[in-house]
Amino acid sequence: MVGKLFIFEGGEGAGKTTLISNLRQELENTDHHVVTTREPGGTEYAEEVRDALIKKRPETNAYPTPRAQLLGFYSARYDHIEKVILPALQEGKVVLCDRFELTSYAYQVHSLGPDLHDLFIILHRGVCELLREYDLNYILCDIDPEAGVRRALDRSDENTSFDEKNMDFHRKAHEGRQVAQEHVEDCFDFHTIDATKTPQEMVTDSLKIMNI
């Protein structure tokens, strides 16, 4: 059995985490072996990097620069791929990942550092080399940025650097996810679902795409 990777992308409040949890239950009920994970994160090292990069440094009350964030997130990503994603795919499992490269491009490149595009492409090629032989898929949970941010802020009592950005930032990030697709489609297939639907409808739409 060949492992499959399904990455769920979308803006704040798109319901990715709930969708992944519901999909895991559905798939395990039909005897699939499932691994759920997230980015940035997924390994002890990657979680430490996540914590360091998305919160203000107490000594300076500032965030790392976009370049530092991009490099840090890819350092975490490679660790995550090598320790979690690849072993699961090699064992024929279904991997459900909450965010991946589209978010890196949307935030660190399109929204914060357009001059980092070439660096992103170099880092992305390394991801392709590691994963190219597997079935790789993005499922974009599409929602209007304003509606998504309202959802996210209503449910959270802890702000990160991304939650605090104004709506122009979130609109630009939404646009960036669309732009990013053309830069990573060399090794991923793309699909879109409507994130304004009910949780069960999102599960149904996702399962049709996944076809497993």
Residue 160 Cα to chain centre, angstroms: 16
Contact by Cβ (8 Å): 101, 5: no
- The pLDDT-based confidence of 176 (bands split at 50, 70, 90) is very high
What pLDDT is recorded for position 168? 86
pLDDT tens readout for residues 190-208: 999 999 999 999 999 999 9
Reference 83, options 44, 49, 39; nearest CA is 44
The percentage of residues in the chain with a pLDDT greater than 90, rounded to a whole number, is 79
pLDDT tens readout for residues 131-150: 999 999 999 999 999 888 88
pTM, entire model? 0.91
Burial of 107 (0-12, 13-18, 19+ CB in 10 A): buried
User: Comparing 56 with 190, which gets the higher pLDDT?
Assistant: 190
- The pLDDT-based confidence of 165 (bands split at 50, 70, 90) is low
66: preceding bond cis by omega (within 30 degrees):
no
Average pLDDT value over all residues in the chain: 92
Q: 197 Cβ partners below 8 Å, 6+ apart?
A: 205
The residue-averaged pLDDT of 26-52 equals 96
CA 175 to CA 56: how far, in whole Å? 25
* Vertex 143: Cα angle to 141 and 145 (nearest 5): 125
Q: What Rg value do the Cα atoms of the chain yield, rounded?
A: 16
- Phi and psi at 175, nearest 5°, equal -60, -40
Query: Does residue 160 have a pLDDT over 60?
Result: no
Residue 201 Cα to chain centre, angstroms: 21
Q: Whole domain around residue 180: which residue ranges?
A: 4-210
The enclosing domain of 159 has a CATH number of 3.40.50.300
Q: 207 Cβ partners below 8 Å, 6+ apart?
A: 23, 26
Helix (H, G, I), strand (E, B) or coil at 40: coil
Amino acid at 140: L
Give the strand pairing for 94-98 and 135-142.
unpaired
How many domains are there within the chain? Answer: 1
